[in-house]
Chains A and B, each alone.
Chain A
Amino acid sequence: MSAIAARRRTLPGFGLTMGLTLTWLSVIILIPLGGLFLRSTELSPEQFWAILSSRRTLNALRVSFGLAFAAACVNLVMGSIIVWALVRYRFPGRRIFDAIVDVPFALPTAVAGVALTALFAEKGWLGAPLAALGIKVAFTPLGIFVAMIFIGIPFVVRTVQPVLQDLDPEIEEAAGSLGASRWQTITRVILPSLAPALLTGLALAFARAVGEYGSVIFIAGNLPNVSEIAPLLIVIRLSEFRYADATAIAVVMLVVSFVIIFAVNRLQRWAQNRVPVH
């Protein structure tokens, strides 16, 4: 162990590259984020609470967190179905569908925003038939939900896909030959092995949807207290020069993001420490 460590030290440049890394990390990431937290400490707890408990802020947070969670759940279910189809079945166009799962990652959010809005607007390709059924999507909370589903798709698929691919086929065959029905095998053998990846995907999709701005604001309608998301309220407060309000909302959202990162790290450690299914 110490021999390895000693040998590794023979490579030059540790001090220099580590110093540059920490400096640059501080300048670009840590100081700006730290500034935000420092700013929030200038608010008294009463002020902080007054901002957060105002009706408009509460509603914006409720819209963002509530719809993001609902969208992440849809992504969990549909993402699992997509992963299962991509990994287990062969069908025409499989590779293309596999590749386009990443489109929501790669497509700039503003482009996704205008495209989804045009698609689900009352005269749009999908908006028109839905309107005939009496369902209005664009410029309602339902539109926010749709946009959040869109941006969350890759997270569940790309976290679960490699785990399902690596799953040992023998345990399934064993379960089957021991008399388990296919449904029992899936729910009692496969699903528990996928659980950490599924939860990680859910958490990542949720985190992304909570903070999402570009793809949501076009389709949202942005009616205060109804279809106004928290990131938009931050932008509005900034434009009104109400920096304290913007800071307080941002701090709440950041803390939630950090909790999610922590949870995801824990989930991954849990997944690694479980008895490997080989």
Chain B
Amino acid sequence: MTMQIADSVSLSSPEAKARAHAAAARNNLRTEPRAVRVTIISLAIAFLTVFVVMPLVLVFAQAFSKGIMAYITALAEPEALAAIKLTLLVAAISVTLNLVFGLVAAWAIAKFDFPGKTFLITLIDLPFSVSPVISGLVFVLLFGAQGYFRSWLRDHDIQILFAVPGIALATTFVTFPFVARALIPLMQEQGTQEEEAAISLGASGLQTFFRVTLPNIKWGVLYGVLLCNARAMGEFGAVSVVSGHIRGETNTMPLLVEILYDEYQFVAAFAIASLLAMLALITLVAKTVLERRLDGGEDRDH
């Protein structure tokens, strides 16, 4: 058995080499010497290892550095549970709002022609290029101590800053473009023929949307929601400005990471951080799967 394998290897190996050489000669015009290739691959791997892999591994190593019991105890703290609950609530609010907006905006922008379309898309994209701190600041200027709506809010006894509505607003601002940006190119590519057919067969607008459009864009919707949710749960700068850091009340998970870290409670800080890191990793895996599905769908349709 072993002899046979050894034989076949020794036989096929020069052949394989010859084949490789022939292929190499053909590709010679499009590739670099071996030393250059190895250097470039090593540089890429080394850079990604130092800047991406090591920080990720470190989060989990620190979180479990005092054992699994310390990890679980840290997560079971009332403050941690309150932060997790608030994070889920805020993400649910802002993802829902941005999902509805994304669907509505994508319908208007992708299915109709009108002047100023590019400009409108640029406006939707704005939050991507605004510093998170400024995204929080704008709401402080509207609702804060010297804000434009200050007296109106006081008269009606509405609390926005340092409370859930402010955190949800800032998060919605920051995550505004995700769903719309995922859907607009997808729906533009799909055109309007199927919808026109449905309408001409007598379907209502809503029926057409739910029975024709939505099934076509469901993976795109999921993709947008996924990215929107990851950012909503992880947002730090904008939320930090509007939250007021009231312990057990207005601290989301990223804010609690900061507080625990500043108090040298490293295991607890990294335990919360590890949950957020897991969220990021799950999001990335799901994103990769969805991207393949979206690309695959394209291939089948065209």
Contact = CB atoms under 8 A, between A and B. Distances in A.
Interface of A: 5, 7-14, 17-18, 20-21, 24-25, 28-33, 35-36, 39, 78, 81-82, 84-86, 88-89, 91, 93, 97, 99-104, 106-116, 118-119, 124-126, 146, 149-150, 153, 169, 172-173, 175-177, 182, 185, 207, 210-214, 218, 231-232, 234-235, 238, 241, 243, 246-247, 250, 253-254, 257-258, 260-261, 265
Interface stretch (B12-20, B142-150, B151-159): B142-150
Given A11-B195, A108-B234, A234-B137, A17 B52 contact: no
A109 B199 CA distance: 46
B257 A111 contact: yes
A25 B108 CA distance: 13
Given A169-B30, A246-B137, A18 B108 contact: yes
B93 to A, nearest CB: 12
Given A21-B101, A32-B139, A104-B52, A257 B47 contact: no
A214 B145 CA distance: 25
User: How large, as a class, is the contact surface on chain B?
Assistant: 35 or more
Contacts of A9: 112
Contacts of B196: 7, 10-11
Contacts of A265: 118, 122
A213 B124 contact: no
Interface string B44-60: 11011011111110110
Q: Is the interface of B mostly helix, strand, loop or mixed?
A: helix
Interface stretch (B3-11, B71-79, B215-223, B235-243): B235-243
A35 B130 contact: no
A100 B173 contact: no
B52 A111 contact: no
10 contacts: A20-B101, A28-B173, A85-B43, A100-B48, A107-B56, A111-B254, A115-B55, A119-B55, A177-B29, A250-B134
A72 B121 CA distance: 25
Closest 10 CB pairs of A and B: A211-B131, A108-B234, A176-B29, A214-B236, A213-B237, A32-B138, A12-B205, A115-B55, A85-B44, A17-B108
Given A103-B56, A247-B141, 15 more contacts: A32-B138, A35-B141, A36-B134, A78-B47, A81-B40, A82-B48, A85-B40, A89-B41, A109-B237, A114-B59, A114-B270, A177-B29, A231-B237, A235-B133, A254-B130
B25 interface: no
A112 B54 CA distance: 11
Given A86-B44, A214-B236, A153 B131 contact: no
A21 B51 contact: no
Contacts, number: 285
Contact of B112 (A8, A29, A111, A146): A8
Contacts of A101: 48, 52
B29 A173 contact: yes
B138 A33 contact: yes
A114 B273 contact: yes
A36 B141 contact: yes
Contact of A28 (B104, B172, B273): B172
B55 A150 contact: yes
Interface string B260-286: 010000100110010011011101110
B254 A214 contact: yes
A49 to B, nearest CB: 20
Nearest to A257: B129
B104 A84 contact: no
Given A110-B236, A111-B59, A153 B52 contact: yes
Contacts of B124: 25, 29
A210 to B, nearest CB: 7
B41 A91 contact: yes
B292 to A, nearest CB: 11
B115 to A, nearest CB: 12
B105 A17 contact: yes
Nearest to B236: A214
B133 A231 contact: yes
A232 B45 CA distance: 33
B86 interface: no
Nearest to B119: A265
A36 B55 contact: no
Given A234-B133, A235-B241, A17 B236 contact: no
Contacts of A102: 284, 287
Contacts of A91: 41, 45
A154 to B, nearest CB: 10
Which residue of B58, B109, B230, B279 has the most chain A CB atoms within 10 A of its CB atom? B58
Contact of A32 (B55, B173, B284): B173
Contacts of A25: 105, 120, 123-124
Interface in B84-133: 101, 104-105, 107-109, 111-114, 118, 120, 122-127, 129-133
A117 to B, nearest CB: 8
Contacts of B112: 8-9, 11, 14, 18
B199 A108 contact: no
A203 to B, nearest CB: 10
Given A8-B111, A235-B240, A97 B55 contact: no
